[in-house]
């Protein structure tokens, strides 16, 4: 252990976090069947009361969650659909595998949504429908509102992403341009019993925002969608069809999303089986094994990546000076940041966070040599890049100096990927098969 350097220790820490939220393990830990008794966490369901069991699985963990649950259900499972990204296709018994896209919807997303809606509308009162939800599900099932084309919905989604809209804001708009989100799939399944098994990729495990809440109540409105588009100065340039749907919704001419107390939600049950805090606690346990005094700062990071980086670095001088023992520190945090794209470079929120933090470290702690920071997307994808995120320490700062890399210039151009590619600070994990937002690690002291 003592011979590991800080980067190797950081790798051990984030790998422990990812292992804890691996989808097959989460299913096995949270669901069991004994005779006809189905136990989901502390809740019990009598399978003898149901004629048929169906399954729908969406999101980046979809095929793996579906495979694990289908093994538990065995012959009880009548039919299912699981979506997959190109690199995660699996053959599953009694489950149809359908391709889907991310982060922007395409024709595959629309086709998958149609097939899922068809299956959901088949379930009856004495049927049980498992809905397995993980991050990325919102883009994977896209069935635009009547009169809105797939291309138009894709365009407004891309505009919001580039403008730096939060996931909540993005989903508010998407839900009000959809025939299946915002609880509408629950309406389609009524009066069947619906059990949602969820790997959360949103702040505070807000059910309304996980995959845009297809089987959950929705508190947002068409007026909120209008407000968000105006906030980012996108309303004037929005497609006419989108303006029409939102205006008609505000006038009551188009049905709102499903609200609290709706009859369709009477037999819908939600279980969070994995989230960011679960991953951070596993990281904390591993960091302590490695000899660090460890604290979790938050699992709810949000805001502009470079602003959050500035705030974190401002805390470090006092932490370093106030240490009463030579024991090294590990600070952990999680959540999901945003980036307002103004330049023409390439990067992601985690890479931009680390680059901005590195710039702050250079300014405020130029002589401190025992530190490392790392930030990565738990799904292994950071923006439109092949990297999960990036790491930085004194060696990266030296490498940048040797190569004549101007940190501020790369920040101004939102080009964090190319900075870290040259400075050899990219973190590349490949797809991790899960998604619980981002993980950040700060190591202070030690070797």
* pLDDT in the model for residue 93: 82
Domains by residue range for the chain, with CATH: 6-12+277-444 (3.40.1480.10), 23-143+178-220+257-274 (3.40.50.10180)
Q: In what order do the strands lie in the sheet with 43-46?
A: 31-34, 37-40, 43-46
* pLDDT in the model for residue 324: 65
Q: Where are the beta strands (DSSP E) in 117-192?
A: 127-133
What is the CB neighbour count within 10 angstroms for residue 47?
Answer: 14
* pLDDT in the model for residue 86: 75
* pLDDT in the model for residue 447: 64
Tens of pLDDT, residue by residue over 110-119, are 999 999 999 9
* pLDDT in the model for residue 104: 83
CA end-to-end distance (rounded Å), the chain:
11
For residue 150, give every residue at least 6 positions away whose Cβ sits within 8 Å of its Cβ, in sequence order, or none.
105, 106, 107, 109, 110, 142, 144
For residue 89, give every residue at least 6 positions away whose Cβ sits within 8 Å of its Cβ, in sequence order, or none.
63, 97, 99
| pTM for the predicted model, two decimal places | 0.92
* pLDDT in the model for residue 322: 72
Q: How far is CA 227 from the centre of its chain?
A: 24
CA nearest neighbour of 373 among 401, 393, 400? 393
* pLDDT in the model for residue 326: 77
Q: Give dist(CA 220, CA 385) in Å, integer.
A: 32
Whether the link from the prior residue into 333 is cis, omega within 30° of 0, is no
**445 Rama class: left (phi>0) / alpha (psi -120 to 50) / beta:** left
* C-beta separation of 276 from 202 below 8 A: no
Which residues in the chain show pLDDT less than 50?
1
List beta partners, residue 178: 144
């Amino acid at each position: 252990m003592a011979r590991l350097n800080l980067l190797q220790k950081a790798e051990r820490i984030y790998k422990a976090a990812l292992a804890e939220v691996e989808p097959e393990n989460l299913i096995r830990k949270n669901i069991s069947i004994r005779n006809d008794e189905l136990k989901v966490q502390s809740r019990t369901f009598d399978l003898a009361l149901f004629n048929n069991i169906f399954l729908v699985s969406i999101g980046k963990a979809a095929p793996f969650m579906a495979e694990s649950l289908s093994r538990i259900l065995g012959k009880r499972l009548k039919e299912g659909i699981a979506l997959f990204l190109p690199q995660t296709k699996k053959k599953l018994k009694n489950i149809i595998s359908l391709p889907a896209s991310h982060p922007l919807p395409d024709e595959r997303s629309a086709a998958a949504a149609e097939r899922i809606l068809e299956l959901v509308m088949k379930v009856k009162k004495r049927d049980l429908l498992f809905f397995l939800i993980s991050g990325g599900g919102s883009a994977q099932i896209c069935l635009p509102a009547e009169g809105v084309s797939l291309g138009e919905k894709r365009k407004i989604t891309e505009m919001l992403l580039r403008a730096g809209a939060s996931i909540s804001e993005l989903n508010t708009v998407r839900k009000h341009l959809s025939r299946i989100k915002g609880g509408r799939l629950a309406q389609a399944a009524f009066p069947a019993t619906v059990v949602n098994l969820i790997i959360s990729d949103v702040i505070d495990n807000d059910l309304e925002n996980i995959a845009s809440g297809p089987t959950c109540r929705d508190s947002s409105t068409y007026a909120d969608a209008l407000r968000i588009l105006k906030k980012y100065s996108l309303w004037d340039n929005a497609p006419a069809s989108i303006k029409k749907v939102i205006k008609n919704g505000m006038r009551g001419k188009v049905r709102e999303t499903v609200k609290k107390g709706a009859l369709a939600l009477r037999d819908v049950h939600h279980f969070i089986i994995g989230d960011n805090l679960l991953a951070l606690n596993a990281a904390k346990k591993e960091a302590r094994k490695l000899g660090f005094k460890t604290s979790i700062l938050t699992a709810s990071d949000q805001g502009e990546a470079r602003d959050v980086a500035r705030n974190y670095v401002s805390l470090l001088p006092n932490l370093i000076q106030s240490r009463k023992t030579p024991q090294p520190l590990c600070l952990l945090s999680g959540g999901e940041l945003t980036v307002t794209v103004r330049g023409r470079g390439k990067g992601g929120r985690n890479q931009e966070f680390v680059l901005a933090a590195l710039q702050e470290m250079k300014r405020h702690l130029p002589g401190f040599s025992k530190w490392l920071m790392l930030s990565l997307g738990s799904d292994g994808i950071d923006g439109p890049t092949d990297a999960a995120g990036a790491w930085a320490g004194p060696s990266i700062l030296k490498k940048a100096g040797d190569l004549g890399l101007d940190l501020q210039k790369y920040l101004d151009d939102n080009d964090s990927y190319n900075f870290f590619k040259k400075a050899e600070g990219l973190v590349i994990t490949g797809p991790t098969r899960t998604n619980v937002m981002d993980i950040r690690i700060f190591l202070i002291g030690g070797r």
